[in-house]
Amino acid sequence: MNEVKIGGQIWMGQNLNNEIFQNGEKILSVNTTDDWMAALQNKIPACCDYKDEKSNGEIYGKIYNWFAVVDPRNIAPNEWRVPLVKDWEILVESIGLKNLIGKSLKHPDFWGDSAGSNEFGFSALPGGFRGSFGSSMDINKRTGWWSATEWQPLSNKAWVVNLDSNIDNENLSFKSFEILKADVRMNGYYLRCLKNE
């Protein structure tokens, strides 16, 4: 497992590409939009590859639904955990570059004109996400990662991290890295795990 140290945190150097919980039980792997939507409707933990193509999973990692993220069987490998929103906020503070956070996390390839410096080895790739009604969206334009933090109890929303192809500029309001709310009933994002302290 590739690890990167940023401030006092140790992050995975790539997205999770795991189909089992810590107890060895398998996470449902879906290959069609209908199966993805059925898993969401029935609150079944599930994962997929972008556009349901295994080759994308090998590059970008797996996309997970919210129910896989918060399942008590624990999706993160031993000694790792799914970050809370406060962990992502600590990452932002540790980098301390204001509008240039995204640029410092992006891989130097894949992003076109908004390629990053990757100075911490985080190697973020624009793997897209799974959006409304199960559509695979925005590869080569953006990516997103779950936090394990709900926006409000029973709100059907959780905090996620969005990284897009905006070109970061220190002196302007443009930034590619944001912490946002997402509808847990519809979306699928990647996971970047944090090592237990």
pTM, 2 dp: 0.95
Helix (H), strand (E) at residue 63: strand 63-64
Q: What are the structural domain ranges in the chain?
A: 3-15+24-195
Q: Please, which residues have CB within 8 angstroms of residue 128's CB and are 6 or more apart in sequence? A: 50, 60, 136, 137, 138, 139, 140, 141, 142, 143
User: Mean pLDDT throughout 145-168?
Assistant: 91
Give the residues across from 10 on adjacent strands. 5
pLDDT in tens, 63-121: 999 999 999 999 999 999 999 999 999 999 999 877 789 999 999 999 999 999 999 99
Task: Report residue 12: phi and psi, to 5°.
Answer: -65, 145
Tens digit of each residue's pLDDT (9 = 90 or more) over 10-38: 999 999 999 999 999 999 999 999 999 99
